[in-house]
Amino acid sequence: MCGICGWLDARDSIAAEPSRERIERMARALNHRGPDDRGHWVDADSRVALGHRRLSIVDLSPTGHQPMISRSGRWIIVFNGEIYNHADLRARLESRRVAFRGRSDTEVLVEAIDHWGIATSVERLVGMFAFAVWDRAERALTLVRDRLGVKPLFHARFGSAFLFGSEIKAIRAHPAFAARVDRGAEGLFLAHGYIPSPHTAYDSVHKLPPGTMLRVTADDRLRVGEPDAYWTMRDVVERGRESPFTGPIERAEEELHDRIRDSVRLHMVSDVPVGAFLSGGVDSSTVVAMMRQVATGPVRTFTIGFQESAVNEGEHARKVADHLGTEHVEFTVRPEDALDLIPSLVDQYDEPFGDSSAIPTCLVSRLTREHVKVCLSGDGGDELFAGYDRYARIESTYRQFRSWPAWMRSAIEAVVPRLPGRFMSARWYRRALTLCDLLRAGSPQEMYVLLHTHWRRPQRVMKDGRLPATIFHQPSQWPETENAIESMMFIDAITYLPDDVLTKVDRASMAVGLEARVPLLDHRLVEFAWRLPFAWKRQGEETKIALRRVLARYVPRPMFERGKAGFGIPLSQWLRGPLRDWAESLLDPRALESEGLLDAAAVRRKWREHCDGTSDWSHLIWDLLMWKAWRLGAEQGAVPS
């Protein structure tokens, strides 16, 4: 795991010395991602520069130093991530008499590109990765991001310069950076609690979408192509329908077991100590159970607990750890721990990020890094095996509403918006308006988008706000599925998973030099999961059916047959208690009025209702607080306003 950065400039010439200073400045912004080594490569004649910060995991020797040049001298690469099948690829290349200097996966990749080309090499990779490779022969820079979006990669164009980096802060460090805050992206953030790809908080900076590559040249002028998809979740879903698994569930269970075990085995390959995050839920417990099967030594597990019992998973994790015989470490989070961490979240995530579980994720990453350098997580299980409770809840709600007579639905939609406010309290009036929105939903998928939105109409709280079109409101881009829940799973897999869940884990772990790996997101396992009948994933309230059968081989069902708790903090309580003063300072009405960005009355109304217990607006309030904290950084010069 590392940090990469660089640029390509179309100007006639660039001076070598200032170029080295600039690429070093960009790389320094990524020190936390790679504290073990640093390097840069500059070609002043070609006007290209590549920078790298290294977190040494495989091949700790200097032969793993980057940027790395192929033996032919044609290709120069900077790479972030891990290629889990690099040993197999190495053997194939050695059979073609390719000689290697070291044992790193980066060297395997650059030599693979030299022999097979970029596209063929990428198709053969199993892993998480984001890399940039310069082709001296064609004078072209190519960026590539892994299939599921585990590793981040950002790019931007300013005048004659094309910039890229593992995090936006590396791009900001270049003197050509001239982006402004994107008001549309702010609207997307308030709607979702994160900014969906390819948008970022800046108007000229973009996320490279998962499963794509981008080619850039700069001979006579800068030419930036469109992201070219080499793997899409839509194709996976459609192929799963065309070629479904046809055997009995017992055989599916056996194959799923073997695929997970093989993925965990590959994800444990490392020259440094490896551990695992453990919540005691199905996903993380399955990963840890497989680690115990393939490990040659003790398995270390780590979890976070809370003083508030309603959100404390520490006890569940402890029971699973005891049963599996792991070396278990637990850390209890207090409100003051969150307060101490919050100021660093804005810089850590580079743009507004509203998932409050970033706090325990950051804290458990710190704890884990004191013991190991690599940690496996169970992320991805909910999206693959229909684990989220909201799926069935939304489908049930839609069926219930559709059972109402058409005249009743039409009457409610027509009458409620016209009712004078005196006929009901503000709280019940807003609920009635929400009911009208849901009644208009033409499908469970449309209802899902409505209910899975934080600020349902962010334009109403933002002054001069707008909401760009995204995949959420473009059902023509969704694949045909067996049922509505599979459509929801698809949407989550291409939005919430990469832009929230995986972003959260990447920034939290890399902030402390910890490599987080996600064995359930091996793309071959993902493709297999989409071939399984939906009935083997979910039936009514029973979720992850096939995955639970696998786990039950190693852990008694009573230990994991419980409701889904998630990994959040007791946000609602904390905002009314220990975090209240901090929140009040950010939501000061005079400041809101003077800034002119938000409707101060609407914000204060939500805050007041939350504080007095009338409503639980904790997620909406938290989004505003994270947005405000990020804008505060803009005012103080951390980001351009």
Q: Are residues 34 and 172 in the same domain?
A: yes
Tell me, what DSSP letter sits at residue 549?
H
**What separation in angstroms does the CA of 341 have from each of 40, 63, 296, 396?**
32, 37, 36, 39
Contact between 293 and 261 (Cβ < 8 Å): yes
Q: What is the mean pLDDT of the chain?
A: 89
- Condensed to tens digits (0 to 9), the pLDDT of residues 362-419 reads 999 999 999 999 999 999 999 999 999 888 888 888 777 777 776 776 777 677 666 6
- Is there a single domain that holds both residue 269 and residue 347? yes
Q: 557: which 2 tokens?
A: 């069902």
Residue 238 lies in a domain: no
Same domain, 113 and 262: no
Residue numbers of the domain that contains 406: 389-489
Q: Is residue 602 part of a domain?
A: yes
Task: Name the residue among 23, 76, 44, 47 with its Cα closest to residue 220.
Answer: 47
pLDDT over 70 at 566, yes or no = no
Looking at 67-120, which runs of residues are DSSP E strands? 68-69, 75-83
| 563 has a pLDDT exceeding 70 | no
Domain boundary residue, one of 231, 252, 281? 231
Is residue 181 a part of any domain in this protein? Answer: yes
Judgement on whether residues 104 and 53 belong to the same structural domain of the protein: yes
Q: Six-digit token pair at 416?
A: 């409620």
The predicted model gives 261-285 an average pLDDT of 94
The answer to whether 100 and 161 are in contact (CB under 8 A) is no
Rounded CA-CA distance 362/343 in Å is 13
Q: What CATH number is given to the structural domain containing 34?
A: 3.60.20.10
Alpha carbon distance 573, 610 (integer Å): 10
Establish if 518 belongs to a structural domain: yes
* Distance separating alpha carbons of residues 320 and 278, to the nearest angstrom: 9
Say if residue 339 is in the same domain as residue 449.
Answer: no
d(CA 58, CA 270): 5
pLDDT exceeds 70 at position 636: no
465 has a pLDDT exceeding 90: no
Q: Which residue would you say has higher pLDDT here, 36 or 495?
A: 495
Are 121 and 56 part of one and the same domain?
A: yes
Candidates 108, 126, 21; CA nearest to 64 is 108
Determine which of 45-49, 81-85, 132-136 has the lowest per-residue pLDDT on average: 45-49
* Residue bearing the bigger pLDDT, 15 or 641: 15
Higher pLDDT, residue 566 or 258: 258
pLDDT tens digits along 147-180: 999 999 999 999 999 999 999 999 999 999 998 9
The CA distance from 368 to 14, in Å, is: 44
What gap in Å lies between CA 361 and CA 22, rounded to an integer? 32
- Residue where a domain stops, chosen among 434, 467, 489: 489
pLDDT, average across residues 566-574: 78
**Rounded (10°) angle between helices 444-451 and 426-440:** 150
What local confidence, expressed as pLDDT, does residue 422 receive? 52
Residue 444 has pLDDT above 50, yes or no: yes
Residues 323 and 377 in one domain: yes
pLDDT at residue 640, rounded to an integer: 42
Strand bridging mode 154-158 / 161-165: antiparallel
Cβ contact 51:171 at 8 Å: no
* pLDDT tens-digit map of 610-624: 999 888 889 999 999
**What is the band of 105 on the pLDDT scale with cuts at 50, 70, 90?**
very high
Nearest to 276 by CA among 59, 518, 85: 518
CA distance 573 to 600: 23
**Which of 45-54, 68-77, 135-144 has the weakest average pLDDT?**
45-54
- Shared-domain flag, residues 614 and 536: no
Is residue 138 assigned to a domain?
yes
Give me the pLDDT at residue 15, please: 66
Q: At what angle do helices 426-440 and 389-403 cross, to 10 degrees?
A: 80
565 burial type by CB count under 10 A (0-12 exposed, 13-18 middle, 19+ buried): middle
3-state secondary structure 319-357: HHHHHHCCEEEEEEECHHHHHHHHHHHHHHHCCCCCCCC
Task: Determine the pLDDT at residue 424.
Answer: 58
CATH value at residue 531: 3.40.50.620
Check residue 639 and give its pLDDT: 45
- Residue with the bigger pLDDT between 183 and 452: it is 183
- Secondary structure letter of residue 498 according to DSSP: I
* Exposure letters 60-78 (e unless 16+ CB within 10 A, then b): beeebbbbbebeeebbbbb
- Percentage of the chain exceeding pLDDT 90: 63
pLDDT value, residue 13: 64
* Confidence bin at 641 (pLDDT 50/70/90): very low
Mean pLDDT of 487-504: 96
CA atoms within 13 A on the CB side of 358: 30
Q: Give me the DSSP letters along 147-175.
A: SS--S--EEEEETTEEEEESSHHHHHTST
Please tell me whether residues 460 and 585 are part of one structural domain.
Answer: no
CB atoms within 10 A of CB 172: 20
Range from 17-31, 118-132, 536-550 that averages highest in pLDDT = 118-132
Does one domain contain both 369 and 410?
Answer: no
> What is the pLDDT averaged over residues 90-116?
95
Q: Are 394 and 448 in contact (CB under 8 A)?
A: yes
Asked whether residue 256 is assigned to any structural domain, the reply reads: yes
Please tell me the distance from the alpha carbon of residue 189 to that of residue 193, in angstroms, as a whole number: 5
490 neighbors 237 (Cβ within 8 angstroms): yes
Greater confidence (568 vs 127) lies with 127
Phi–psi pair at 208, nearest 5 degrees: -75, 120
Residue 98 forms part of a structural domain: yes
What are the start-end ranges of the H helices in 218-281? Answer: 233-242, 249-267
Residue 361 has pLDDT above 60, yes or no: yes
Terminal-residue alpha carbon distance, the chain: 32
pLDDT band of residue 489 (cuts 50, 70, 90) is very high
Report whether 357 contacts 504 (CB < 8 A). yes
Residues 365 and 256 in one domain: yes
Tell me, what's the pLDDT at 292? 97
Indicate whether 237 belongs to any domain.
Answer: no
Q: 231, 254, 284 — which closes off a domain?
A: 231
Note the pLDDT tens digit of each residue in 293-319.
Answer: 999 999 999 998 877 655 567 888 999
Catalogue the active-site residues.
Answer: 2
Instruction: Give the model's pLDDT for residue 309.
Output: 54
In sequence order, the 6+-apart residues with CB closer than 8 A to the CB of 456 are: 191, 434, 437, 450
> How many C-alpha atoms does 439 have within 13 Å on its Cβ side?
21
**Greater model confidence, 63 or 176:** 176
Domain count, the chain: 4
Answer whether residue 509 shows pLDDT above 80: yes
Average pLDDT over residues 485-500: 96
Are 214 and 256 within one domain? no
